[in-house]
Structure 1
Amino acid sequence: MADKDLASTPAEKKAAAEAIEKHLEPETRKAGTRARESTGSAAREFGSNGGEGWLTGPALQAARKTWGEQLTTLMNRLGAEKAALRATNTLFQNTEAGVDLGIRRSSVLDGF
């Protein structure tokens, strides 16, 4: 990494939050849904003969359940990251305003 500064501009944070909202979240949800449907379909196919001798169907069902849980976790994380990016700008602006007010209140020049 050439740039050692981890700071970013409000515009970059906004762009990152929008990328999560417009691309990562919907595309992840779509891919996750497609994978769950395909795995569910395969599990039903392997389990359609009454499960005689086939452990593949139940194993795929277990994998499908785990995938669904992981997808939910990932979607929650993406949402949290998006919210954090958006909140950071507000936090920094409020902190700067608070520091400015604190400095102004304690200035000895205010008495003149």
Structure 2
Amino acid sequence: MTTQSAGEPGEQGGPLGMQIDHVPSEPGGSGTPGPPGPWQPNLVSTPAQKKAAAQAIEDHIEPDTSKAGDHADDETGKAVTAFAPKDGDGWVTSTSLKSAHKTWGDQVKNLMNRLASEKAALRSTGLLFQTTDFGIGTGLRQTSPLDGY
């Protein structure tokens, strides 16, 4: 970007204003919308892909997330015990760790709930579309009294 106040002569003798360099809006693009390219992901998925994604959540992501949360429980518990009061004196760190551990536990619980809802949504998407299509189809073509003529 080049700036110079209006009215001051530029190197070539004319006044300069503000010039903003062009930045493309998409990687490798010209800045103008166009047909989809390799930088635009394809959001279409098949029922089999949705089923596989739901299965991956169930078989891998949920158990791994739960294990990571349990590991943090064990390690944080050990640290809280190590910093706990002994003979009436303890570290403030112990109380802070307990608070952070509670927050961590809440976040793990929220993440597990989110994974469960995403898994359920992936499994019910096909049924939802089928039910919606059937409902719209029956609503659009109802029998008319004129059909008998």
1:31 partner letter: A
Gapped regions of structure 2 (runs ≥ 5): 1-38
Report the count of equivalent residues.
111
Gapped regions of structure 1 (runs ≥ 5): none
Partner residue in 2 for 1:2: 40
Give the number of the structure whose alpha-carbon radius of gyration is greater.
2
Q: Scaled by the length of structure 2, what TM-score is found?
A: 0.64
Q: Scaled by the length of structure 1, what TM-score is found?
A: 0.83
Partner residue in 1 for 2:75: 38
Does 2:126 align with 1:89? yes
After TM superposition, the structure 1 = structure 2 runs for residues 92-103 of structure 1, keeping only pairs within 5 Å, are 92-103=129-140
After TM superposition, the structure 1 = structure 2 runs for residues 19-58 of structure 1, keeping only pairs within 5 Å, are 19-50=56-87, 52=89, 54-58=91-95
CA shift in 2, pair 1:50/1:18, >3 Å = farther
In the TM superposition, residue 53 of structure 1 has moved relative to its aligned partner by: 5.0
**Bigger helix fraction:** 1
In the TM superposition, residue 41 of structure 1 has moved relative to its aligned partner by: 1.1
CA shift in 2, pair 1:13/1:51, >3 Å = farther
Does 2:142 align with 1:105? yes
In the TM superposition, residue 7 of structure 1 has moved relative to its aligned partner by: 2.7
Cα pair 1:39 1:60 within 8 Å, conserved: yes
How high is the sequence identity, in percent, across the aligned residues? 53
CA shift in 2, pair 1:111/1:51, >3 Å = farther
CA RMSD of aligned residues (A): 2.4
Cα pair 1:51 1:57 within 8 Å, conserved: no
* Greater relative CO, 1 or 2 (CA 8 Å, sep 6+): 1
Aligned with 1:17 (options 54, 67, 71): 54
- Aligned counterparts of 2:77 and 2:87: Cα–Cα separation in 1: 16
